[in-house]
Structure 1
Amino acid sequence: MSSSSRIDALLEPVTVRGVKFPNRVIMSPMTRGASPNGVPSPEVAAYYRRRAEGGVGAIFTESVFIEDKGTMGKFDLEGGEDLKIGWPVMFGDAPLEGWRRVVDEVHAAGGLIFPQLMHLGIQRTPAKGQAWSDIHISSPSGIWGTPEQIAGLDEEKAKALNCPEKAMTEDEIRAVINAFAEAAANAKSVGFDGIALHGGHGYLIDNFMREETNLRTDDWGGDHVGRMRFAVEVVRAVRTAIGDDTLISFRFSQWTHHDVDAMLTKTPEELQDILQLLADAGVDIFEASARDFRDPVYEGSPLNISAWTRKLVDRPVVMVGGTGVRRERHESALKPPQVVDNVDEIMERFAAGEFDFLAIGRALLNDPNWLQRARTGEPFLDFNPACLKMGYVE
């Protein structure tokens, strides 16, 4: 790449835990639902390869299920002959061979690739033909959210999602932790360069971290520090499974999918506490996810969540949210965003030391060559609404 562009500083290589990133740009995870029966297809491999060929240094894949009865949802594996879409998994011979093909394609294009391992937790929904009453929902306390949030659900959903008597047992918790570790080991076995853990947006790890969904009074709950035990144990188990030579990245967020105004932490001190616990457990990189990187976090400070993270913990930080696109705070994620050129502001924040890596999501979904356009100054493409549809892997 030429060294005469406004994004030069992001195009320099950087090494973390012995892994050399070609540059500081990461493709952010975005659900595609294009893996029937959990198996990433050749088309999925080509989709990821195109982004690597476009210059992205590392790809963090769409969310990938670990093996647990509470992980399936509307992209269930058992959809019958008419199943056209599916959520990928990180267990079983066929899915792992599919992932090996994906990894090989990305490596051939010069990129790194991490799978984003996740468990739906309270965000699980029925698969095609299922009733709410027929699905297993994994939840620390059997609670979906605040009383106000629960009141906004229809009766059937509320009954399924608000069941304190179905709070996870000790055995269920341990089984899920082990499943994360096994999925990480599987990922390493097929050549992934590191592991990304989804600890944000209202999914299971996040459910344990939040006071509105974790009301436990045992060793898996308590104050903001006590509620971190599950996340910490997952990181430790993954670290043991993959060894000391493989990277772990951890995504977290203040907001959740069903409450964009939620606050995981109320103060910088709380944020520092949880970040340090995760760093001590084995996290190498923190993905600080915001709906928009311009959003400040705490009253009285203009800093966003990535800037606070970088200030409070000695680990590389990824700024997530809003690169190349813009939408209103409470707009649906399925609504096509406005294409914007906010590269100059991003580079000002990088120069100010607010982040180490930049995650790009919808802009790359829309255009595999977005980074090339940013480098050369070419106009960005208009947004194609089709790319937001499940199954789209162009």
Structure 2
Amino acid sequence: MKHDPLFQPLQLGALTLPNRIVMPPMTRSRASQPGDEANDLMAQYYAQRADAGLIVSEGTYIAPLGKGYAWTPGIHTAPQVEGWRKVTDAVHARGGRIFAQLWHVGRLSHTSLLGGQQPVSSSALQAQGVNVFIAGENDGVPGFVQASEPRALGIDEIREVVSQYRAAARNAIEAGFDGVELHAANGYLVNQFIDSNANTRTDEYGGSLENRLRFLGEVARALIEGTGDARRVGIRLAPLTTLNGCVDADPETTYLAAARLLGEIGVAYIHIAEADWDDAPHMPLEFKRRLRAAYPGVLIYAGRYTGERARDAIENGWADLIAFGRPFVANPDLVQRLHVDAPLAQHERETLFGGGAKGLIDYPLLDGAAAAA
């Protein structure tokens, strides 16, 4: 293609992205134990994919009570920061750009992951039927279990969580990340404040739409303070997905208001997670156009995009960047494959969570050679 929309550069703050292809956050549960530290294996995984226009790291929990899955990395201790430095150095050595996704799961956790403590949330509402990945309470066999019942955060605790986000942003910059992305989607803590059915508070963080968006705004501003630059902050939202038990009574109104708020705060981008499962709800094109009108920054979309759909989204102006999740798992050279319209390899489902190099760094390149880092 003489003019391929996917391969036009884009300015994101101080970064010049060479293409419009994003590697989005994907939990792989391979952090070193004990300590939940990023490691050399993870560094190789991300470096193999450094030709993406932008990489957003897997969800990285900001404090002990923010953890929701076994063997996921944190970013609140000095060794965790040093572990992530291995990753950012490896990505930058390959000419890549990488943001850290900052994560607090809230109620989507289990007491076994929290040293016996109860998970926290906006409200004392259990995410019924939602499972989380644990190492195994008795027999040590990893697997998925029902998320534990949470307790509601007090006002002082909410302020402390905001401070933890600010500190995590500082840690991310110290670790060499180019910026941070707030995980405010998929039913995790920030989403538990935003969506009406997950928030039964009667104080300044609940009830009205303005109140339900207050925590999002406070955290976004804290991340700007932590990084020192609004252009180094992105926010991930999932307006219509109803994932992990979070449902809003009027999602289009709620998330258009969230987009306007984030535009006023001045964050660099919003990363929209569309539903990506079979028979998932469709996000109307008109809603995407209204999001474009509501928010003046960069818009990233993720959700079962093909090269053709991605090009169409960019050409039609409602998206600036497109994130490809599962395709990046099995295709370390996804950027090249999209450029030449080559077939994509399929990932091995059983190696997605936990394990070692198999299913992480051993997928071959298009020519059959081993991926290098």
Q: TM-score, normalised by structure 1?
A: 0.79
The whole-number CA distance in structure 2 between the counterparts of 1:188 and 1:376 is: 35
Written as runs of structure 1 = structure 2, the 5 A alignment for 1:86-105 is 86-105=71-90
Written as runs of structure 1 = structure 2, the 5 A alignment for 1:260-339 is 263-264=247-248, 266=250, 268-292=252-276, 296-297=282-283, 302-303=284-285, 306-323=288-305
Shifted more, 226-235 versus 89-98: the winner is 89-98
Q: 1:265 to 1:58 in 2, by over 3 A?
A: farther
| Offset at residue 255 of structure 1 (A) | 2.1
Q: Does the CA contact (< 8 Å) of 1:286 and 1:317 recur in 2?
A: yes
Q: Does the CA contact (< 8 Å) of 2:184 and 2:191 recur in 1?
A: yes
Q: 1:190 to 1:151 in 2, by over 3 A?
A: closer
| Offset at residue 350 of structure 1 (A) | 1.8
Task: Give CA-to-partner distance per residue, 1:348-388, whole Å, 9 cap, x none.
Answer: 22211120011111100111112211111222223433442
Task: Give CA-to-partner distance per residue, 1:75-113, whole Å, 9 cap, x none.
Answer: 1xxxxxxxxxx2111122211111111001101111100
Task: Give CA-to-partner distance per residue, 1:218-271, whole Å, 9 cap, x none.
Answer: 111122221011111011111112212641110011224334xx6446264433
| Offset at residue 272 of structure 1 (A) | 2.1
Q: Does the CA contact (< 8 Å) of 2:329 and 2:347 recur in 1?
A: no
The whole-number CA distance in structure 1 between the counterparts of 2:129 and 2:200 is: 15
The whole-number CA distance in structure 2 between the counterparts of 1:48 and 1:183 is: 20
Match for 1:100: what amino acid?
R
Which residue number corresponds to residue 232 of structure 2? 247
Q: Does the CA contact (< 8 Å) of 1:296 and 1:305 recur in 2?
A: no
Match for 1:73: what amino acid?
G
Q: Does the CA contact (< 8 Å) of 2:6 and 2:20 recur in 1?
A: yes
| Offset at residue 22 of structure 1 (A) | 2.0
Q: Does the CA contact (< 8 Å) of 2:25 and 2:57 recur in 1?
A: yes
CA RMSD of aligned residues (A): 2.6
2:335 is aligned with 1:368: no
Q: Does the CA contact (< 8 Å) of 2:109 and 2:147 recur in 1?
A: no
Which residue number corresponds to residue 332 of structure 1? none
Q: Does the CA contact (< 8 Å) of 2:59 and 2:101 recur in 1?
A: yes
Name the count of aligned residue pairs: 340
Q: 1:379 to 1:121 in 2, by over 3 A?
A: same
**Pick from 36, 39, 61: which aligns with 2:37?**
39
Q: 1:44 to 1:383 in 2, by over 3 A?
A: closer
Match for 1:237: what amino acid?
A
Q: 1:313 to 1:265 in 2, by over 3 A?
A: farther
**Pick from 99, 105, 114: which aligns with 1:120?**
105
Which residue number corresponds to residue 344 of structure 2? 380
Q: Does the CA contact (< 8 Å) of 1:117 and 1:183 recur in 2?
A: yes
Task: Give CA-to-partner distance per residue, 1:16-59, whole Å, 9 cap, x none.
Answer: 2222222211101000111122111101000000011xx21111
Q: Does the CA contact (< 8 Å) of 2:198 and 2:247 recur in 1?
A: no
Which residue number corresponds to residue 51 of structure 1? 49
Which residue number corresponds to residue 57 of structure 2? 61
Which residue number corresponds to residue 390 of structure 1? 354
Match for 2:244: what amino acid?
H
2:71 is aligned with 1:73: no
Which residue number corresponds to residue 155 of structure 2? 170
The whole-number CA distance in structure 1 between the counterparts of 2:129 and 2:46 is: 38
Match for 2:263: what amino acid?
A
| Offset at residue 210 of structure 1 (A) | 1.1
| Offset at residue 183 of structure 1 (A) | 0.4
Match for 2:298: what amino acid?
P
Percent of counterpart pairs with the same letter?
29
**Pick from 350, 353, 369: which aligns with 2:317?**
353
| Offset at residue 71 of structure 1 (A) | 1.7
Q: 1:296 to 1:387 in 2, by over 3 A?
A: same
The whole-number CA distance in structure 1 between the counterparts of 2:216 and 2:152 is: 17
Task: Give CA-to-partner distance per residue, 1:280-315, whole Å, 9 cap, x none.
Answer: 224220011112399533xxxx41764442232211
Q: Does the CA contact (< 8 Å) of 2:111 and 2:148 recur in 1?
A: no
Q: 1:308 to 1:296 in 2, by over 3 A?
A: farther
Match for 1:384: what amino acid?
E
Instruction: Provide the secondary structure at the position in 1 that maps to 2:47.
Output: helix
Instruction: Provide the secondary structure at the position in 2 that maps to 1:38.
Output: coil
Q: Does the CA contact (< 8 Å) of 1:195 and 1:246 recur in 2?
A: no
Instruction: Provide the secondary structure at the position in 2 that maps to 1:39.
Output: coil
Which residue number corresponds to residue 258 of structure 1? 244
Match for 1:258: what amino acid?
N
Q: TM-score, normalised by structure 2?
A: 0.84
Written as runs of structure 1 = structure 2, the 5 A alignment for 1:134-145 is 134-144=116-126
